[in-house]
Amino acid sequence: MTRTGTRGLTGSALALALLLPSAMPAAATQSSLQPAGWDDQIRLSEAVDLNDDPHIVEITLEARVDTVTIAPGVDIDAWTYNGTIPGPLIRARVGDRVIVHYTNNLPRPSTVHWHGIRVPIEMDGVPGYSQPPVEVGGSFTYDFIVPDAGTFWCHPHVMSAAQVGFGLYGAFVVDDPEEDLGIADELVIVLSDIDADENGTLRSPDTGGSLGMVFGREGNWVLVNGRHQPSLTARSGAPQRWRIINAAKSRYFMLDLGPGHMFRKIGGDGGLTEYSEDHDFLLLGAGERADVLVTPTGDPGKSLMLRSALHDRGFGSTEYRDIEDLVPITVSDLPPYAAGPLPDTTRDITPYSTEGATAVDLTLTLTQDPRDRSFEYRINGQPGWTTTPVLAALGDVQLWTVENTTKWSHPLHLHGFFFLVLDEHDEPVRPLEWKDTVDIPFEKTRRLLVRFDERPGTWIFHCHILDHAEGGMLSAVQLGLPASAFTPLAVH
């Protein structure tokens, strides 16, 4: 991993975000450099905007069981948004109002959580803390302003391990109208998996019992935008922008594009990073995102493969396992494009000061009941259904020390807020990056600096290996509310 040079681009502050004009980013006016149909197998469908107001994105989102084809001859009756895996791509601009008319036609109650988007508490999609569950046949209207540019996603927060595992998730991109990378060819790539037998029947979400929960269940079909190994055609030397989302309920992805190729990471969970940086491999834990530039190269007809290399996220995660082929890429017969170097990006990010920050210690543990040998994850000695919340006043800056004593890694996700990750010297990790999900490696400690703004409510945080959250690794921040107002719930 090496550091690139930098040159100025943009970084929209929240105070200005709501005043920005609504217009597609300048990059959208560029001409594609790729051959016709280059992304036919992989491009996501987009949600239909029903509102003529250029500052409002208004869509319908129906959760329903539908038949989807994940590979030739392999059909699955999956849980979907609008009949597809992933659901339709929602696209808006900074400052837009987004209205989602949601209907639940699943066989179980559900909600929609807007992962990474700083919404009001009433829109966060957590039953019991922000809204009632949407019952079978019921509906709910989500209505909020999107304050930040970036790559986000949505998924349910009822029986989340099962429902996400069955296919219920979608991508959400917020563009910055002031941003211009000069790269027209963009892909939104949603990585996931699904567990089904040879007949395409979804397997039970509780396979392996308590031991399955401890590891975190992974599907036997690895999917990219809802398909197993969808293909892509690329013009040699022509740059592409990939917005990558790890929507798997447990699986980590260690992305590799092969010798001679690298990922220029320009952004992550919360939009552009402080400066761009080149990576030979790109690691994404469950729930994390990355915004990268890539330049596939090779002779016409040459085949490349986007792969996921093995990554040790704990006991059993590398033993007797294979590298996963994700996207076969064929170099087109168009003349190679002489693009020159990829653009560098910068963004002004002002870190919070640790001086005066409230110290919060969080210890992640795994216990076993001697009576029935069942396992339970805990935060500070308590599972999610009996947890004591972290208390925070409006405007508080807190320094979280998260110690993972278990033998499995945990991508920790905080609802509603961004934070900075600190190094061993309590300095922000460079390049600065706003995060909402961070990997806490097994038997390691991470320190996080978070500021809570003027949105009071009960905001949960949990491991985004969703089996772990359901197994107890979930707690909450009680923001601007008395501790007496908190009631633990079995939410996931």
Please report, for the domain that includes residue 322, its CATH number. 2.60.40.420
Angle at 146 between CA 141 and CA 149, to 5 degrees: 145
Average pLDDT over every residue of 187-195: 98
140 within a domain of the structure (yes/no): yes
Predicted TM-score (pTM) above 0.85: yes
First and final CA of the chain: distance in angstroms? 36
Burial class (CB in 10 A: 0-12, 13-18, 19+), 217: buried
243 within a domain of the structure (yes/no): yes
- Do 313 and 195 fall into the same domain? yes
- Do 135 and 209 fall into the same domain? no
9 within a domain of the structure (yes/no): no
- Interatomic CA distance for residues 141 and 135, integer angstroms: 13
Instruction: Look up residue 350 and give its two tokens.
Output: 């002002």
The whole-number pLDDT of residue 491 equals 57
The whole-number pLDDT of residue 370 equals 87
pLDDT at 397 over 80: yes
The residue range of the domain holding 59 is 14-175
The whole-number pLDDT of residue 373 equals 87
The whole-number pLDDT of residue 488 equals 87
The whole-number pLDDT of residue 372 equals 86
Domain boundary among 120, 146, 175: 175
- Do 171 and 187 fall into the same domain? no
- Do 42 and 148 fall into the same domain? yes
The whole-number pLDDT of residue 412 equals 98
- Interatomic CA distance for residues 223 and 207, integer angstroms: 20
Instruction: Look up residue 124 and give its two tokens.
Output: 């966060």
Query: Do 55 and 99 form a contact (C-beta atoms < 8 A)?
Result: no
pLDDT at 10 over 90: no
pLDDT at 19 over 70: no
- Do 366 and 412 fall into the same domain? yes
Average pLDDT over every residue of 46-63: 98
- Do 136 and 214 fall into the same domain? no
Q: In what order do the strands lie in the sheet with 410-414?
A: 390-392, 474-479, 457-463, 410-414, 437-440
Average pLDDT over every residue of 80-90: 98
Which are the contacts of 78, defined by CB distance < 8 A and separation ≥ 6? 65, 66, 67, 68, 85, 166, 167, 194, 202
3-state secondary structure of 470: helix
- Residue with the bigger pLDDT between 83 and 26: it is 83
- Do 294 and 379 fall into the same domain? no
404 within a domain of the structure (yes/no): yes
The HSE-up count of residue 158 (CA atoms within 13 Å, CB side) is: 20
162 within a domain of the structure (yes/no): yes
Rg over CA atoms, the chain: 22
- Mean pLDDT taken over the chain: 92
Which are the contacts of 351, defined by CB distance < 8 A and separation ≥ 6? 420, 428, 432, 449
The whole-number pLDDT of residue 147 equals 98
Q: Could you give the percent of the chain with pLDDT greater than 70?
A: 93
β pairing state of 186-194 and 240-246: parallel
pLDDT at 366 over 80: yes
3-state secondary structure of 250: coil
The whole-number pLDDT of residue 6 equals 32
427 within a domain of the structure (yes/no): yes
Q: What is the DSSP string of 128-171?
A: TTTB--B-TT-EEEEEEE--S-EEEEEE--SSHHHHHHTT--EE
Domain boundary among 331, 348, 381: 331
pLDDT at 207 over 80: yes
Task: Tell me the pLDDT band of 492, cut-offs 50, 70 and 90.
Answer: low
8 within a domain of the structure (yes/no): no
- Do 54 and 144 fall into the same domain? yes
Domain boundary among 128, 147, 175: 175
DSSP 107: S
Average pLDDT over every residue of 212-231: 97
338 within a domain of the structure (yes/no): no
- Do 265 and 373 fall into the same domain? no
CB atoms under 10 Å from CB of 16, counted, come to: 12
Provide the number of structural domains found in the chain: 3
- Do 461 and 414 fall into the same domain? yes
- Do 228 and 208 fall into the same domain? yes
Long-range contacts, stretch 279-283, CB < 8 angstroms, 24+ apart: 279/1, 280/1, 280/256, 281/254, 281/255, 281/256, 281/309, 282/244, 282/253, 282/254, 282/255, 283/252, 283/253, 283/254, 283/255, 283/311, 283/439
- Do 214 and 309 fall into the same domain? yes
- Residue with the bigger pLDDT between 119 and 339: it is 119
